[in-house]
Amino acid sequence: MKHSYPLQKAWLLLCALVLALGLTLPALAVELSVDEIAALEEALEDNSKDLPVSEEFRVLVTPGDLSVTPGLDEDWFNILLLGTDTGNIRLNYGRTDTMIIMSVNRFTGKVRLASLVRDMYVNIPYYNRPFKINAANAFGGPLLAVKTVNEAFDLNIRHYVSINFSGFKTVIDSLGGVEIVLSSGESGFLGLSQSAQPRLLDGEQALRYVRIRHLDDNFGRNERQRKLLTSLFNKMLGGSSLQQAMAALTDVLRHMATNLTINELTTLVIPIFTGMEDMDTAGFPAAGDYRFEVTDDRQSIISFDQPATITRLHDYIYQGINP
């Protein structure tokens, strides 16, 4: 897709990355008004965010203790997206509804999203016993979640972004809505007529969409969350004005936290700008590699073939082979 204005394209792309990841912005050579700059600075410096961040976790994991697997292809920059679709949970606290590995190729700009179903039964570091993978954030915040994913899947993740889908209502509305193809069940849940064409959802409808729980299972919910993030990303690239992007960015900064630095962000922006394609998405574990079980204490869990899932996940991230 070609844009007439390279600077605006670069800025919209950066804003799209911010929306998908929840990042803070570096200083760029972009024509912004005084009011836009002031609004952005206010959002970045706001100490009374809806979802405050605290470091007082039950297990303290240091940035140097993330169980990073050596020898993996460093062309791919992996980030763990941690999300919830509830309106009252604090960032970096509680069980996560969403765990997505976002992989960005530093040179080609290719982006891949790999969802991890939240009920997978894995070993949580320091506790030395299995829990659902979404408990890691509750036990030790995002760094324990990163360490857990690295140990379970032999990965080299060092960075996280915590987001809250409730905060995206105003963001989506400021963009004029997002387009998503709905199944018949999803259309009925939202009170819309069925159509094979993409439907334009406003912020409230999009939030209801990712909160659908009764049509299928957590695999279905993961797919809906990936579709929403992909639609947001594409909307920012394809149809938003600079003013819309700035309004969305100011809103979204109030609902997320990350340990990414400005330098790390800027290393990703240029390759994505020059080589961005539509994002690939996939869910893990793959069909045939898992089964539903109930524990002795009556928890519904997903038991999975860990070696097979590691192989499939690595094939997907580094070679683009869908499971």
For 30-99, the DSSP string reads: ----HHHHHHHHHHHH-SS-SS------SS---TT-S-PPTTS-TTEEEEEEEEE--SSPPTT-S--SEE
Between 47 and 282, the higher pLDDT residue: 282
Mean predicted lDDT score pLDDT of the chain:
77
Judged by phi (left if over 0) then psi (alpha if -120 to 50, else beta), residue 249 lies in alpha
The radius of gyration of the chain from alpha carbons, rounded to an integer in Å, stands at 19
- Min mean pLDDT across 15-24, 44-53, 278-287 is at 44-53
**Tens of pLDDT along 165-184?**
777 777 788 778 889 999 88
Report DSSP state, residue 113.
Answer: E
Q: Are 109 and 273 in contact (CB under 8 A)?
A: yes
Alpha carbons 177 and 229: distance in angstroms, whole number? 12
Alpha carbons 15 and 21: distance in angstroms, whole number? 10
The domains found in the chain, sorted by start residue, are 6-170+219-319 (3.40.630.190)
Rounded mean pLDDT of 293-301?
Answer: 85
Q: Are 320 and 278 in contact (CB under 8 A)?
A: no
Alpha carbons 278 and 233: distance in angstroms, whole number? 9
Residue 251 is predicted with a pLDDT of 66
The pLDDT confidence band at residue 2, using thresholds 50, 70 and 90, is very low
pTM score: 0.76
For 120-177, the DSSP string reads: BEEEETTTTEEEEGGGHHHHHHHHHHHHHHHHHHT----EEEEEEGGGHHHHHHHTT-
Percentage with pLDDT > 70 across the chain = 67
**Which residues are 131's β-sheet partners?**
122
